[in-house]
Amino acid sequence: MGGRFIVVGVGNVGLRVLWDLSSRGHEVVGLDKSYDAVEKARRMGFEAEVGDASAVKNLAKRLGDVDAVVTALPGSIGYGIVERIAREGYNVVDVSFFPEDPWPLEEVARRNGVTVVVDAGIAPGLSNFLVGAGVRRTRARKARIFVGGVSSDPRVPLGLAAAWSMEDLVDEYLRPARYIEGGRVKSVNPLEYEPGHIRVPRFGVMEYFPTDGLRTLLKTYSDMDFMAEYTLRWPGHLEAMKSLARIGFLDSRRISVEGCPITPRSCLAAILSHRLRGVRDIVVLIVELDAGDGILRYSTVVEADENWSAMAKATGSFQASVAELVYEGLLDLGLVVPEQIGADSRLSMIIGEKLASRGIQVLEG
């Protein structure tokens, strides 16, 4: 018999997790405040209900027992919902890129006797996991993460695909990108950076620039000589975003358009969501660990198929794999971050096998 899970948020990623866990014999119910999202899940043959996080407790009681609540929500609301579910006594595996510091969730989780896993996505998520595994294997003092979800066709506007929250995407350019240098946390403005370039096998040259994706790695490996995350995009992308910023499309101050108050950044996110919906995407992740006597390099490329976007496949596969670890009782109570899983040789091997069974192949070399 499998586990029992509730998936809160059945957008692109949550729907993939719903499918993933269901296809492996687990009992899974989706929960979303959007009637359209719930209807889509039902049409695909999944059990789903209309409701927000406040409905988790009653739904869990009806199911009889729940091994974990899997949350796939926008970062703007993620922290509060994760905290609420943990306080109600349920394990949580979250993928939201919320801006709040996740470490206070340690006390919340321990006080309520649950496990809370944050950043269980692709980056942060699988990227952190690979850093943990690489540091364990090599004692590396330097690490660089390159990651990007882009359109498979570089000619698409901005080279993007609306395969995840466009609001979260816009935020990437507005947050100072924190990195570690000489054991100290420093930061740089992504929009003031001159992009570097890296060659990705089969896909050619991509540009990269720093973004604020290290998250919990900033604390876990605070004494590193150097560590940074870089976002990958097709060449010319960053200059286009700089132009949009100069025009004012990334501003947060409200303006009136035909009597309606809006923020330019939310307008841009809405335009991107509409214009780039259905664009085929790819996800590229490269993690380099430098121990001084050579570089350990992990890489994976995930491509879309006729049913799922590459971002949904990459993110949902890691999140579902971690959710199974919770169900199997393999994670400690309290706050768990992905690099801790990678730092454990047994858990690292288990996650590698789970990802491979889901078609996510991480290569070395």
Whether the upstream peptide bond of residue 264 has omega within 30° of 0, thus cis, is no
Give residue 301's pLDDT. 97
Cα 145 from chain centroid? 14
pTM of the predicted model, to two decimals? 0.94
Other C-beta atoms within 10 Å of 106: how many? Answer: 15
- Summarised one tens digit per residue, pLDDT across range 4-20 is 999 999 999 999 999 99
79 to each of 10, 93, 220, 324, 362, how far by Cα in Å? Answer: 17, 12, 20, 22, 29
Other C-beta atoms within 10 Å of 240: how many? Answer: 14
Q: What CATH architecture is 4-122+312-364?
A: 3-Layer(aba) Sandwich (3.40)
- Summarised one tens digit per residue, pLDDT across range 268-299 is 999 999 999 889 999 999 999 999 889 999 99
Give residue 60's pLDDT. 85
Give residue 61's pLDDT. 84
Do residues 337 and 79 make contact, with C-beta atoms less than 8 angstroms apart?
Answer: no
Residues in the chain: 365
The contacts of residue 201 (CB under 8 Å, 6+ apart) are 299, 301
User: Beta strand pairing status for 260-262 and 196-200?
Assistant: unpaired
**Where are the domain boundaries for CATH 3.40.50.720 in the chain?**
4-122+312-364
Other C-beta atoms within 10 Å of 237: how many? Answer: 21
d(CA 218, CA 184): 9
Quick one: angle between helices 345-357 and 126-138, nearest 10?
140
Amino acid at 351: I
Cα 343 from chain centroid? 19
d(CA 90, CA 93): 10
Do residues 210 and 190 make contact, with C-beta atoms less than 8 angstroms apart?
Answer: yes
- pLDDT per residue, tens digit, the chain (365 aa), is 789 999 999 999 999 999 999 999 999 999 999 999 999 999 999 999 999 888 888 888 888 889 999 999 988 889 999 999 999 999 999 998 888 999 999 999 999 999 999 999 999 999 999 999 999 999 999 999 999 999 999 999 999 998 777 888 888 899 999 999 999 999 999 999 999 999 998 899 999 999 999 999 999 999 999 999 999 999 999 999 999 999 999 998 999 888 889 899 999 999 999 999 889 999 999 999 999 889 999 999 999 999 999 999 999 999 999 999 999 999 999 999 999 999 999 999 999 999 999 999 999 98
Q: Which residues pair with 71 in a beta bridge?
A: 8, 94
Question: Which one, of 244, 137, 229, 224, lies nearest residue 181 by Cα?
Answer: 224
Terminal C-alpha separation, the chain = 39
**Where are the domain boundaries for CATH 3.30.360.10 in the chain?**
126-310
Q: Taking the CA atoms of 98, 100, 106 and 107 in sequence, report the sign of the dihedral they define.
A: negative
Query: How is the chain split among helix, strand and coil, in percent rounded to 5?
Result: 40, 25, 35
Give residue 76's pLDDT. 82
**Which value, in Å, is the radius of gyration of the alpha carbons in the chain?**
20
Token digits of residue 98: 């919320």
- Summarised one tens digit per residue, pLDDT across range 208-248 is 999 999 999 999 999 999 999 999 999 999 999 999 999 99
Give residue 280's pLDDT. 95
Amino acid at 184: R
Give residue 155's pLDDT. 94
Other C-beta atoms within 10 Å of 100: how many? Answer: 14
Give residue 365's pLDDT. 81
Amino acid at 52: D
Do residues 127 and 145 make contact, with C-beta atoms less than 8 angstroms apart?
Answer: yes
Token digits of residue 251: 């501003």
Amino acid at 236: G
Please determine, looking at this structure, whether the domain spanning 126-310 carries the CATH number 3.40.50.10240.
no
278: left (phi over 0), alpha (psi -120 to 50) or beta: left
Phi, psi at 148, each rounded to 5°: -160, 140
Give residue 91's pLDDT. 97
